[in-house]
Structure 1
Amino acid sequence: MRPTAFGWVDDDVSTAPDWDRAQVRRLADRLGYRIIWSDVRSVLSVVDQVRNAGVDTVILPAPEHLGALELNRVMNVADVETVLPRLSFARWYAAGTAR
């Protein structure tokens, strides 16, 4: 069973959404994730979609596809990977929690 990743491309930020989706898909394959795409018709926030999907990681084309506050919220529930620049953000862990 492969771990899952949530693919997120903000169409308002992207100048080439299809290209960005392809890049996210390639990174997911390279990292060994099965990708689950966001529902563009959903009224839920990104973090709620991520939480409902139960994924391990969120993959973005670039950091600007999530605002700073959204990124902070997402990192409470999942790791974040970006294609360009190639960055990895580990999810937040509360101090004192059991591993």
Structure 2
Amino acid sequence: MRNRPTALGYVDLDVSTSPAWDRAQVQRLARHLGYLVVWPDVTSILPLFDQVRAADVDAVVIPGPDHLGPLELNRVMNVADVETVLPRLSFARWSIGAGR
């Protein structure tokens, strides 16, 4: 991880009706939470989970829960927190030692 908390901003272009607005809202929330925002390469064919892991970020900020499917959310939560703009939700990453 970096010296400053970092978040990957992610907007699913297949879901978004206004990508520029969603991107601005993600940027605003991430800044409010104290994250430096990095964006994934839109031409990448890697799944989001692999991009999150490669970027080594603390969180993923998305416009809404419909931008990640349940299985994708589960995978991302293995390596990062997930924050949504609307509704305002936080999903903490899974604890390695949970249930022990």
Q: TM-score, structure 2 length as denominator?
A: 0.93
Which ranges of 4 or more aligned residues in structure 1 deviate by more than 4 Å? Answer: none
Hey, what's the Cα distance between the residues in 1 that align with 2:45 and 2:57?
19
Hey, what's the Cα distance between the residues in 1 that align with 2:77 and 2:23?
21
Structure 1 residue ranges without an equivalent (≥5): none
Structure 2 residue ranges without an equivalent (≥5): none
Q: TM-score, structure 1 length as denominator?
A: 0.94
The alignment covers a number of residue pairs equal to 97
Partner of 1:30: 32
Hey, what's the Cα distance between the residues in 2 that align with 1:20 and 1:83?
9
CA RMSD of the aligned region, Å? 1.3
Alignment match of 1:71 (pick from 66, 70, 73): 73
Alignment match of 1:61 (pick from 60, 63, 66): 63
Q: Secondary structure at the match of 2:41?
A: coil
Identity %: 69
Hey, what's the Cα distance between the residues in 1 that align with 2:5 and 2:93?
15
